[in-house]
């Protein structure tokens, strides 16, 4: 049934427990069943209060059924589905007796909206509690009354944050802003709830919406219509800065709230349903739902037969190499309360790694994501050493030393004598052969690639690289470790550059070719951010370090030949020691942590002085075609399993625009035949073979198929 009713004298308990599912969802069937239960409660003369709870551990209600949202084909269908949910939650809200939602876990989307329709919301101190309205991440916004109730329940400013950001908050934050009326311990929860309910029945003081009064300037702004307009304006500016206009849902949600904040419930919810439906049928929403499915699939990904293998527990870790990357990896382990030993060859290097970890925690405290006490406790999980002491206790060692194969091979030989036979030896290499490193280990089957992306705490992807010698047990353990670290793993066969860097370096190198023709660094970066990339290729090169990119490019050239020839301008910039942010000058000059200005030296380093004006659309087509062609080669070479792996890697490893669904999903909207024709046109016009379509892409074009067919 998914939801059922129990009565205990004057108290009714509505319990959600969706059969054969780890989570509760507000499917159409569950909502219909809830509707019937509400009718029974409404008809009863004895019931004095209703408690709404979940039987599933750490889950209240995870939201509506995304498949039902994905299936919406027309605006009219979207309106009907939204109104169906709205009417049932209105019925809940309109009960003449108090209703109490008991939230001891995840309450997202429709689950949060259901809680908002209750008179009271009780949360627990359970660290698994997360409540929020993440719908904007799917290209829509709340459609069961969330845009109407949330700003009224907790105030306009906080309400807008909850709806427009799509971010969930924990129980303490929910209590602080007034979303939870009471916090109680998990232990003795039933008794606590009973006591609170009896208190409510004894002294009924039902107030439909009771936001906490704000103090200071915010309180003044929320107290009048003119102040509201200031809040709306600031919210709009924040949305445009964050989304660059590519994602319509937050702006649409803002406009709906700006209007329905002054409307009665009937008209306010009509407006919500209508605008929700208009978003649900857009390509942006359909693509964001596909990306959501991708993330969920790879969070659970395992190798064939892996379900019968038990992952090795990882309770202690060691990191070899305490640079910014090593420090970042250590920090990620410590967030999960895994003890981690950080090693390097001198105290200066160790200090650098510890600082990198500390800086992440300091920022988290500053943004109130962690308390100082919690940050200190987690930071205390990291210990430093100049030798291999403690490594014998590590369940996994991750090597993050300089990107040089000879040095890494030497390190793996040393490591083998300093760890236990059970220890997994992982390399964070971004391009080098894991197979060659594994040859140096006593047990090559325990060696695996585990490639994080920088900055480690922000980038969700990990490439798990299987060398020829890597055992299935080690791969399964590595995939489980990635999930434990809250990362999204993709499995890649050992090959130079693996997947992400192999595709990305083609993109950056082609940007260099366009630069030599146009001399326009900012124009090229602007063209790609206009396409939806989070930053342009030259800003990205500065962030990573051009020396790092060139090193990978040379590795790829040695493996794949002339198509990875670096352009002259890159070599000139390297020779001038303009390495990017770490030297405060690259393609841009950096003043402070964020401000950047175009580096005037760059034009002098471009060998072609006869520039032609940049065509932004042509630039976009050239760079994206190079990525698509190389991704097709990766499929052709079978280093990854399918197009979904490519799209997961490019969205979560490079920031390829999610609203386009992924690199190869976007390629399918263009069509293989059109892509082949475009690439051949580039070859002829630019007198080059670097755009020559690979065999796999040509075969798709000839067969009239796409990457997903």
Return the pLDDT at 206: 63
Return the pLDDT at 8: 86
Kindly tell me if the per-residue pLDDT of 1 is higher than 80.
no
Specify which residues 17 forms β-bridges with. 2
Residues 6+ apart with CB under 8 A from 48: 10, 11, 97, 201
pLDDT tens-digit readout, 177-225? 999 999 999 999 999 999 999 999 988 776 677 777 777 888 888 889 9
Kindly tell me if the per-residue pLDDT of 469 is higher than 90.
yes
Asked which of 240-244, 317-321, 603-607 is least confident by mean pLDDT, the reply is 603-607
- Locus of tokens 């589905």: 81
Return the pLDDT at 563: 85
Mean pLDDT, the chain, rounded, equals 94
Residues 6+ apart with CB under 8 A from 545: 579, 580, 581, 582
Domains of the chain (ranges plus CATH)?
A: 2-281 (3.90.226.10), 312-494 (3.40.50.720), 501-638+640-703 (1.10.1040.50)
- CA 431 vs. chain centroid, Å, equals 24
The set of catalytic residues is: 463
3-state secondary structure (DSSP) of residue 126: coil
Taking residues 560-571, what's their average pLDDT?
Answer: 89
Kindly tell me if the per-residue pLDDT of 162 is higher than 80.
yes
Give all strands (DSSP E) within 346-455, no chain letters. Answer: 382-385, 396-399, 424-427, 447-452
pLDDT tens-digit readout, 371-395? 899 999 999 999 999 999 999 999 9
Return the pLDDT at 305: 83
Q: Among candidates 515, 455, 540, 504, which has minimal Cα distance to 650?
A: 504
**Helical residues (DSSP H) of 214-282, grouped into ranges:** 216-222, 225-243, 248-260, 265-280
Interatomic CA distance for residues 279 and 297, integer angstroms: 24
Cβ–Cβ < 8 Å for 49, 98: yes
Q: Among candidates 70, 50, 154, which has minimal Cα distance to 112?
A: 154
Return the pLDDT at 382: 97
pLDDT tens-digit readout, 217-245? 888 888 899 999 999 999 999 999 999 99
Kindly tell me if the per-residue pLDDT of 106 is higher than 80.
yes
pLDDT band, very low/low/confident/very high, at 497 (cuts 50, 70, 90): very high
Q: Are strands 11-17 and 2-8 parallel, antiparallel or unpaired?
A: antiparallel
Interatomic CA distance for residues 604 and 585, integer angstroms: 15
Rg of the Cα atoms in the chain: 28
Q: Which two tokens stand for residue 638?
A: 């079978």
Strand order in the sheet with 105-108: 58-61, 105-108, 130-132
pLDDT band, very low/low/confident/very high, at 307 (cuts 50, 70, 90): confident
Interatomic CA distance for residues 142 and 144, integer angstroms: 6
- CA 28 vs. chain centroid, Å, equals 28
647 to each of 510, 653, 663, how far by Cα in Å? 20, 9, 6
Return the pLDDT at 599: 94
Interatomic CA distance for residues 476 and 456, integer angstroms: 21
Kindly tell me if the per-residue pLDDT of 610 is higher than 80.
no
pLDDT band, very low/low/confident/very high, at 631 (cuts 50, 70, 90): very high
Taking phi over 0 as left and psi of -120 to 50 as alpha, with beta for the rest, 560 belongs to alpha
Return the pLDDT at 337: 94
Return the pLDDT at 525: 97
Return the pLDDT at 166: 96
């Amino acid at each position: 049934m998914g939801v059922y009713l129990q009565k205990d004298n004057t108290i009714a308990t509505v319990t959600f427990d969706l059969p054969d599912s780890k989570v509760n969802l507000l499917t159409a069937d569950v909502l219909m069943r809830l509707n019937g239960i509400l009718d029974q409660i409404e008809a009863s003369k004895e019931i004095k209060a209703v408690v709404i709870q979940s039987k599933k551990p750490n889950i209240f209600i995870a939201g509506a059924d995304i498949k039902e949202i994905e299936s919406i084909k027309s605006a009219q269908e979207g309106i009907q589905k939204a109104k169906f949910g709205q009417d049932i939650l209105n019925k809940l809200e309109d009960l003449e007796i108090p209703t109490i939602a008991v939230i001891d876990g995840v309450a997202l989307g429709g689950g949060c909206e259901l809680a908002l329709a209750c008179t009271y919301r009780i949360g627990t101190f359970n660290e698994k509690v997360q409540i929020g309205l993440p719908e904007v991440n799917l290209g829509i916004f709340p459609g069961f009354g969330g845009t109407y109730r949330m700003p009224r329940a907790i105030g306009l400013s906080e309400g807008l944050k909850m709806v427009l950001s799509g971010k969930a908050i924990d129980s303490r934050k929910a209590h602080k802003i007034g979303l939870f009326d009471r916090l109680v311990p998990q232990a003795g929860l039933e008794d606590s709830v009973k006591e609170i309910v009896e208190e409510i029945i004894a002294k009924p003081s039902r107030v439909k919406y009771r936001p906490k009064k704000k103090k200071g300037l915010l309180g003044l702004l929320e107290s009048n219509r003119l102040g509201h307009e200031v809040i709306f304006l600031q919210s709009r500016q924040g949305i445009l800065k964050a989304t660059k206009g590519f994602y319509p849902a937050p702006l649409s949600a803002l406009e709906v709230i700006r209007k329905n904040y002054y409307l009665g419930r009937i008209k306010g919810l009509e407006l919500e349903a209508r605008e929700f439906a208009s978003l649900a049928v857009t390509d942006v929403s359909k693509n964001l739902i596909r990306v959501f499915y991708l993330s969920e699939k790879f969070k659970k990904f395992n190798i064939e037969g892996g379900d019968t293998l038990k992952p090795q527990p990882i309770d202690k870790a060691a990191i070899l190499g305490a640079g910014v990357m090593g420090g970042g990896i250590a920090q990620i382990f410590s967030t999960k309360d895994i003890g981690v030993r950080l090693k390097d060859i001198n105290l200066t290097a160790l200090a650098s790694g510890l600082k990198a970890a500390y800086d992440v925690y300091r920022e988290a405290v500053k943004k109130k994501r962690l308390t100082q006490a919690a940050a200190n406790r987690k930071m205390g999980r990291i210990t430093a050493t100049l030798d291999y002491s403690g490594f014998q206790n590590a369940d996994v060692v991750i090597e993050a030393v300089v990107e040089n194969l000879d040095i890494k091979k030497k390190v793996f030989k040393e490591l083998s004598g300093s760890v236990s036979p059970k220890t997994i030896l992982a390399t964070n290499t971004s391009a080098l052969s894991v197979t060659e490193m594994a040859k140096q280990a006593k047990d090559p089957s325990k060696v695996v690639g585990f490639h994080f992306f920088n900055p480690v705490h922000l980038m969700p992807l990990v490439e798990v690289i299987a060398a020829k010698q890597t055992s299935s047990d080690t791969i399964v353990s590595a995939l489980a470790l990635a999930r434990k670290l809250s990362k999204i793993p993709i499995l890649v066969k050992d090959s130079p550059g693996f997947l992400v860097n192999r595709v990305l370096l083609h993109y950056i190198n082609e940007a260099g070719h366009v630069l030599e023709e146009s001399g326009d660094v900012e124009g090229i970066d602007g063209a790609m951010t206009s396409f939806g990339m989070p930053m342009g290729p030259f800003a990205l090169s500065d962030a990573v370090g051009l020396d790092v990119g060139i090193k990978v490019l040379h590795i790829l050239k040695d493996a794949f030949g002339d198509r990875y020839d670096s352009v002259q301008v890159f070599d000139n910039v390297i020779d001038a020691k303009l390495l990017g942010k770490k030297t405060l000058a690259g393609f841009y000059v950096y003043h402070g942590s964020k401000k950047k200005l175009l580096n005037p030296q760059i034009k002098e380093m471009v060998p072609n002085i006869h520039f032609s004006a940049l065509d932004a659309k042509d630039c976009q087509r050239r760079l994206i075609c190079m990525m698509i062609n190389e991704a097709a080669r990766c499929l052709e070479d079978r280093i990854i399993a399918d197009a979904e792996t490519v799209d997961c890697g490019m969205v979560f490893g490079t920031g390829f625009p999610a609203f386009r669904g992924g690199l190869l999903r976007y390629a399918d909207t263009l069509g293989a035949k059109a892509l082949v024709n475009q690439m051949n046109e580039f070859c002829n016009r630019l007198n080059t073979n670097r755009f020559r379509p690979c065999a796999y892409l040509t075969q798709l074009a000839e067969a009239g198929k796409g990457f997903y067919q």
